[in-house]
Amino acid sequence: MSAAAAAAAGGSALRPALALALALWPSPARAGFSCRPGARPVVFNFGDSNSDTGGPAAKGWHIAPPEGRAFFHHPTGRFCDGRLVIDFLCESLNISYLSPYLKALGSNYSNGVNFAISGSTTLPRDALFVLHGQVQEFFFFKARSLELINQGLFAVQMK
């Protein structure tokens, strides 16, 4: 299928290439990734159901068991039964799993945010769930976080 045909069908011609790149990507340690001493990495994830860690629950969709039984042993609001590639990335960086951006309660954004949401596409830009929208949410999140930091309502650990 051509890239244009995949985009017209709501898919992405780049998805297989991205999956292959992630599969072949070396671990952060082997790739030479490092933070300055005392600093922690922060991850911002954009994508679709391949990396959505709770968008369906944030949209009010209740996903009942058996979802979540393989690893978490309870429903997590994901369209899967266990961990995703983004979870393994977080484990390799020794940080907690990413909270979904749309999750109102119990979120922890200290190590990053997951903007991915199931059903997201790259085109058209006016679709309900689209990459462009995730990027706009990121800009809003960044601006609001900086406001809260400046007001002293959000602590930032910097070394």
For the CA atoms of 69, 75, 78, 79, what is the dihedral angle to 10 degrees? Answer: 60
Structure tokens at 88: 């393994």
Query: Which tens digits make up the pLDDT trace of 99-158?
Result: 998 877 788 888 999 999 888 888 887 788 888 889 999 999 999 989 988 998 876 654
- DSSP letters for 5-42: HHHHTT--TTHHHHHHHHHHSPPTTTTT----TT----
